[in-house]
Amino acid sequence: MANDNMIQIPFIALSIVLPLLGLTCLAYFQDYLGRRLALVFSGLSVICIIGALYISIASGTNFVAEQYSYYIPALSVLLNLRLDPISFALSLMAGIVAFVALLSGNTEQEHEKLAGSLILLFQASAMGLFAAGNLFLFFIFWDVGVVAMFFMLYMLGSANRRRAAMKFLLYELLASLFLLLAIMMIYFYTPLHSFDIQYIIQNSQLIPTGTQLLIFFFLFAAFLINMPVFPVHLWLPDAHTEASTQGSMLLSGALTKFGGYGMILTFFMLPMSSQFSVFIAILATFSAFYAAFVLMTVRDIKRIVAYTTIVEMSIILLAIASQNGLGIAGATFGMLAHGFTISLLFLAAGSTGHMFGERDIRVLRGVVKNAFETAYTFLTGVFATTGVPLTAAFIGDVLIFMGALQAFSLFGIIPLIALLLTGTYLYYVINKSFLSTKEVTQNINYIGASQRAGYLLLIACIFFFGIAPFIILNLFNV
């Protein structure tokens, strides 16, 4: 890290610390004041990321770094933080999603203090993971995020939440085990025994080939579980079915990006990963089609949206496997777009379930007549998911499939068919349930202004980055 890129204001560190201060406010102040102070600290965390991005653009570099004293001197573990183009985009997205979840995600209006505390803890972990300058900090923030999400599933949500939470935890414990084994092997087999990510990227070729293969297997398995992609995806639909609206927003909006970001790091740290690119592309393609076909048999709105996550993350895995500039930029922008879009869909789906007491598309009717904001918000989310021009997903999809076409020829655009199948079924859901005025449900629990504010903020992000993608893409050398 060059000293001339060090910044005077510790924006990155503040983006992690501020949500923890907000958590403290929730714990020690009354509900009304505590929730508002928590929102302030969550929003300030997002502003810190924007400040770091501004400094990066103004200084003409594509990264910002901060370094502090040794954390564990015996292992040469520094408290070093770094935001590059990929982590800039993902940190900004995760912060906004957490802020909206805190602001408007509690459509169930239950356990506000507990839910808010867990959201802020998760926000701090997401900011820390995407900014971690070494694998030791990466692992700590990874596990903190998993623990926060486990308690969101286990203590909040619907009747079978505990079973879904335990299933989630078992998968994530396995992923954490693989990740820890890989990190330990990297440390012992690098020449200077370092956890520093930049050092590992520059010197990983010195690790014996056989050891690199084993490290790649552990990292790939860990991040595949977290994304998730077939065949280790089974925890996701159950978790979303039982999760609260806030839990679903963070789970698909941000937690799955832990795996996507880790997968990008894997390919950067281990150049030998390129020999598996074709096999990974085949797996990603199969996973996308599998999820698209399963999705068409599902009737619960939240479960339908959950399977769209598997389709999208499979396509993002294809982009990562392409290992070219377009693919990596596309994977990053695709994760940013997906985070906003899927959060919007889950917020609308959760609001629908709260208002009508029903999420089954075979029964649900009259949404557009009784709650037109929610109906058209869900429709906007579907447009964004299918990559309608001027949405962020359109930019992501263009970059993804151009990168895949460059790397895998015509095979690289086959998953586009899976995306079209997903979009077709989502439009069917919209027409059958949200836009239908037949058999109108009579008992309506209307949403408040905070939910509408959440709709507007996420929609604004979807179109802002779709209209002005250069804010992020100018940081990439593509």
Residue listed under structure tokens 């990562």 = 320
Backbone angles phi, psi at 228, to 5 degrees: -100, 160
Confidence at residue 1, expressed as pLDDT on a 0 to 100 scale: 38
CB of 124 closer than 8 Å to CB of 19: yes
Eight-class DSSP state of 300: B
What pLDDT does residue 350 have?
A: 87
pLDDT value of position 5: 46
10 preceded by a cis bond (ω within 30 of 0):
no
Segments of the chain with pLDDT less than 50: 1-7
pLDDT in tens, 429-455: 888 887 877 665 556 767 778 888 999
Identify the three-state secondary structure at position 116: helix
Q: What is the spatial distance between Cα 260 and Cα 90, in angstroms, rounded to a whole number? A: 10
For residue 469, the model assigns a pLDDT of 92
Distance CA 425, CA 420 (A): 9
Both tokens assigned to 335:
């994760």
β pairing state of 64-72 and 77-83: antiparallel
Amino acid at 433: S
Cα(44)–Cα(32) distance, rounded to whole angstroms?
19
Q: Which percentage of the chain shows pLDDT scores above 70?
A: 95
User: What integer pLDDT is reported at residue 105 of this predicted model?
Assistant: 62
Domain ranges (residues) in the chain: 270-478
Name 66's bridge partners.
81
- Tokens 């980055």: give the residue: 465
122 vs 280: CA distance, rounded Å:
30
What is the per-residue pLDDT for 288?
A: 94
How far CA 432 is from CA of 13, 352, 368, 376, 464, in Å, comes to 47, 14, 11, 14, 30
Residue type, 86: I
Q: CA angle, corner 155, sides to 154 and 157, nearest 5? A: 85
pLDDT at position 365, please?
77
- The three-state secondary structure class of 83 is strand
* CA dihedral sign of residues 419, 420, 421, 427: positive
User: Would you say the C-alpha torsion 225, 337, 120, 57 has a positive or negative sign?
Assistant: positive
The pLDDT, as a whole number, for residue 245 is 87
Q: Which of helix, strand or coil describes residue 229?
A: coil
**Cβ neighbours for 121, distance < 8 A, ≥ 6 positions apart:** 19, 20, 23, 144, 148
